């Protein structure tokens, strides 16, 4: 499968690696970056952990990474589900603190059909086993949401870690989700809000 990313043709899970540099967005740099051999630019970054202070809903928050992987957030978290409109970051950072993996897309960076990107995020969530800490109405702690501020079409984030991919590479995405699931400082599962 192939799609165009900002004029560059990339092949999903095949082709030659791209030499893309990923900027955190606020002048900060990750502690460590691991490049994954996936046929396009795929990396996993480890970031310093910020304090998980609760700030009033609507507060303008600046984080050192784009997207945020820890730090201040709103006192309410987003419900664990898929959204068609962007979940405000202050909510989904709280999900990360609870051990969720947030799966982000920026379909504006995909020339053509974004369905393969969205299906990859859904498949990554579906690859997780049922979470025994969750109630019967929650299977796993994942949030799937668009985020127009990310600089790649596919990003997954957990507490302290960011996965970035310029193409669909299901094996590396699933591996990130499995490795970083339930790793927040508050490892609990309770339903959040859908009202932003």
Q: Domain locations in the chain?
A: 2-18+28-180
Overall average pLDDT of the 31-52 stretch = 94
Give the global pTM: 0.86
Where is average pLDDT lowest: 1-15, 88-102, 150-164, 165-179? Answer: 1-15
The pLDDT value recorded for residue 27 is: 59
Overall average pLDDT of the 9-33 stretch = 49
15: pLDDT strictly greater than 50: no
> Number of helices (H) and strands (E), helices first, in the chain?
3, 8
Choice between 14 and 108, residue whose per-residue pLDDT is larger: 108
CA 183/CA 154 separation, integer angstroms = 21
17: pLDDT strictly greater than 90: no
What mean pLDDT is reported for the chain? Answer: 88
122: pLDDT strictly greater than 50: yes
CA 29/CA 53 separation, integer angstroms = 22
Q: For residue 12, what are its two tokens? A: 């999903």
Q: What is the DSSP string of 22-56?
A: ---SSS---SEEEE--SSS-EEEEE-PPPP--B--
Q: Could you tell me which residues come within 8 angstroms of residue 178 by beta carbon, excluding any fewer than 6 positions away?
A: 127, 128
136 falls in which pLDDT band (50, 70, 90)?
confident
Overall average pLDDT of the 59-71 stretch = 97
Overall average pLDDT of the 55-74 stretch = 97
Do residues 5 and 22 make contact, with C-beta atoms less than 8 angstroms apart?
Answer: no
65: pLDDT strictly greater than 60: yes
The pLDDT value recorded for residue 111 is: 86
Q: Quick one: DSSP state of residue 87? A: P
pLDDT tens digits, one per residue of 106-121 = 999 998 899 999 999 9
Q: Per 3-state DSSP, what percentage of the chain is helix, strand, and coil (rounded to 5)?
A: 20, 20, 60
């Amino acid at each position: 499968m192939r799609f165009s990313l900002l004029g560059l043709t990339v092949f999903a899970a095949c082709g030659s690696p791209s030499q893309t540099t990923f900027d955190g967005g606020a002048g900060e740099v990750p502690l460590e970056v691991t490049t994954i051999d996936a046929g396009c630019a795929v990396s996993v970054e480890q970031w310093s952990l910020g304090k998980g202070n609760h700030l009033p809903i609507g507060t303008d928050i600046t984080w050192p990474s784009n997207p945020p992987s820890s730090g201040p957030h709103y006192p309410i978290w987003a419900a664990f589900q898929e959204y068609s409109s962007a979940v405000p970051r202050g909510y989904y950072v709280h999900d990360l603190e609870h051990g969720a993996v947030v799966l982000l897309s920026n379909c504006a960076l995909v020339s053509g059909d974004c369905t393969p990107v969205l299906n990859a995020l859904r498949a990554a969530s579906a690859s997780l086993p049922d979470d025994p800490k969750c109630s019967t109405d929650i299977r796993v702690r994942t949030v799937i949401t668009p985020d127009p501020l990310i600089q790649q079409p596919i990003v997954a984030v957990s507490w302290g870690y960011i996965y970035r991919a310029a193409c669909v590479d299901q094996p590396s995405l699933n591996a990130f989700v499995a490795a970083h699931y339930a790793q927040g400082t508050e490892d609990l599962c309770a339903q959040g809000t859908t009202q932003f």
